[in-house]
Copies of this chain bind each other. A is one copy, B any other.
Amino acid sequence: MRANIKDVSQAAGVSIKTVSRVINNERYVRPATRARVEEAMAALGFHPSQAARALAGGRSFQIALVCSNPGPYYLHGLIAGLRGRCAAEGVRLIVHAYEVEADELGADVLTFFRQMGFDGAILTPPIVDNAPVLDELDRAGTPYVRISPGVQRDRSASVAIDNEGAARAMTRRLIALGHRRIGFVVGHRSYAVSNQRLAGYLDALREAGIPLDLNLVEQGWFDFGSGRAAAEALLGLPEPPTAIFASSDDMAAGVLSVAHQRRIRVPEQLSIAGFDDTDLAKLVWPPLTTMRQPIRAMAERAAELLFSGTVEQVVLPSELIERASTAPRWG
């Protein structure tokens, strides 16, 4: 049978409470006593039951990462960014990836939160803007950090980049390269960042006095397939764009693949721009131009805010990466 705290207390000749003090690194334990207890714990191969600690102490030692079914790089960046800090804090990471289409109302996520009192939560779009979910978290007193919130930004701690500004910068860049007909692939409708990026695009056009041609704006869903579909539509126009700015790298890769099939040389005949959290630019050849959202850094910062209890709206810089042939990001 697994050793429990009582076994340890007997082996060490102290009370249960004292063992508990050692487990939790509390003060008021004489070094000698502490040593004796630790010895006993090691000898018995004792590891405190998290379930019991959670029940008695009201802490779960778990934080939740709630995200939609995101792309590989986004998910990886999140987990990579959270991993270290969680380990350092002795906390487990519960990954809850939900189906965006199937859970518009966040009901699933609500249930998820109500079952285990998490010590904290990290939310990503689009659930990050779901009021009932935020209400529940507030009600339960669970600290949480939102990544890329779209609404009520000052409601909680959050980490984001300036999506609108970044999209504006990218569009300006394309305009500076001489493009006047710039296609745009909008992101998933349920994500606030999609609108923010679209707004940046529109703003840059306005600023440059380029009239908006609605034929150049296609709806996408952040994935490779919808990028391809959008590219088919855009490149099939009587007067196709000379540049296409996709709201995510996955979609940009889709655009690239269509261009390739159509024997369109990139970037000579068609500039393709992506926007994302990925390292795709380093993998794709010839390269896309990418507006880089530092998702891993955002996750790291989110963990920092969560564990320090700081309620603050952090805005991290994004980064415009010209095509990798001129600005490689090797390593």
Contact = CB atoms under 8 A, between A and B. Distances in A.
Contacts of A225: 330-331
17 contacts: A47-B111, A49-B55, A49-B115, A51-B116, A54-B55, A72-B77, A75-B75, A83-B97, A94-B95, A95-B95, A224-B283, A257-B282, A260-B325, A261-B328, A280-B283, A283-B283, A283-B284
Contacts of A76: 71-72, 75-76
A80 interface: yes
A234 to B, nearest CB: 16
Interface in A66-114: 69, 71-73, 75-77, 79-80, 83, 92-97, 111, 114
Interface of A: 45, 47-52, 54-55, 60, 62, 69, 71-73, 75-77, 79-80, 83, 92-97, 111, 114-117, 224-225, 228, 253-254, 256-257, 260-261, 278-280, 282-286, 324-325, 328, 330-331
Given A49-B117, A51-B60, 12 more contacts: A45-B114, A50-B54, A51-B116, A54-B54, A72-B75, A72-B77, A76-B76, A93-B95, A93-B96, A256-B285, A257-B282, A285-B285
A126 to B, nearest CB: 17
Contacts of A97: 79-80, 83
Nearest to A75: B76
A257 B330 contact: yes
A168 B116 CA distance: 48
**Copy number of this protein in the oligomer?**
2
A261 B80 CA distance: 29
A283 to B, nearest CB: 5
Nearest to A261: B328
Nearest to A47: B114
B50 A52 contact: no
Contact of A75 (B79, B254, B283): B79
Contacts of A115: 47-50
A69 to B, nearest CB: 7
A282 B324 CA distance: 18
Closest 5 CB pairs of A and B: A51-B54, A72-B76, A72-B72, A47-B114, A51-B55
A72 B73 contact: yes
Nearest to A324: B257
A181 to B, nearest CB: 23
A93 B98 CA distance: 12
A45 to B, nearest CB: 8
A52 B72 CA distance: 35
Nearest to A286: B285
A328 B257 contact: yes
A9 to B, nearest CB: 19
